[in-house]
């Protein structure tokens, strides 16, 4: 075993250093196990709360900052059949369902499928209204509002990967 005299006159050994590293690794393993077990459920519930709250806002005219955009997007996607409050109510219902499924874990696979459909609607304005959403100076505030949903897609992918590890019954 090697030893080294340090500035205080005490002798430090490699074994003492290794002991500290072993304790640090043990502590890290405990933290890692906690994060592995709690991380995905926390992500699922927090994503669910986002959809639950933002969906609920759409039930009440004047509360959602994207009302006009939702209505216009549905109008384009439905070839003019769905518009106005009907578009908001459909979006609100879909988002609230997704939120409840994610928060409770009930009907999770169906909720994740509904979430995938929701993301089509969320990103559609970037295609349909690109001229309005991107100015010479860059993306407008509305475009930024939409683009940040890329993070929500990544979160949904992690949740789906975990949910799909269980067999379908």
To the nearest whole percent, how much of the chain has pLDDT over 90?
80
The answer to whether residue 8 scores a pLDDT higher than 70 is no
The answer to whether residue 35 scores a pLDDT higher than 80 is yes
Whether 5 maps to a domain, the answer reads no
What does the pLDDT average to over 154-167? 93
The CA distance from 22 to 2, in Å, is 18
Whether 11 maps to a domain, the answer reads no
Whether 168 maps to a domain, the answer reads no
Whether 108 maps to a domain, the answer reads yes
Whether 2 maps to a domain, the answer reads no
Whether 86 maps to a domain, the answer reads yes
| Counted domains in the chain | 1
Q: Which domain holds residue 108?
A: 38-163
What does the pLDDT average to over 19-26? 90
Flag whether the pTM goes above 0.85: no
Whether 55 maps to a domain, the answer reads yes
Whether 7 maps to a domain, the answer reads no
∠ at Cα 75 (71, 78), nearest 5°? 130
pLDDT in tens, 69-92: 999 999 999 999 999 999 999 999
pLDDT in tens, 112-141: 999 999 999 999 999 999 999 999 899 999
């Amino acid at each position: 075993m090697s030893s080294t005299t340090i500035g205080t006159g005490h002798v430090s050994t490699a074994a003492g250093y290794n002991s500290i590293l072993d304790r640090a690794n043990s502590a890290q393993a405990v933290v890692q196990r906690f994060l592995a077990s709690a991380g995905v459920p926390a992500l699922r519930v927090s994503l669910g709360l986002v959809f639950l709250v933002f969906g609920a806002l759409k039930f009440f005219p004047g509360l959602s900052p994207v009302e006009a955009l939702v209505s216009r997007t549905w109008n384009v996607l439905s070839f003019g059949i769905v518009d106005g409050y009907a578009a908001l109510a459909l979006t609100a219902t879909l988002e609230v369902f997704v939120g409840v499924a994610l928060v409770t874990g009930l009907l999770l696979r169906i909720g994740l499928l509904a979430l995938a459909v929701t993301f089509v609607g969320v990103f559609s304005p970037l295609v349909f209204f690109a001229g309005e959403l991107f100015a010479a100076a860059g993306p407008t505030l509305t475009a930024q509002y939409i683009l940040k949903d890329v993070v929500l897609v990544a979160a949904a992918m992690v949740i789906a990967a975990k949910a799909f590890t269980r067999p379908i019954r």
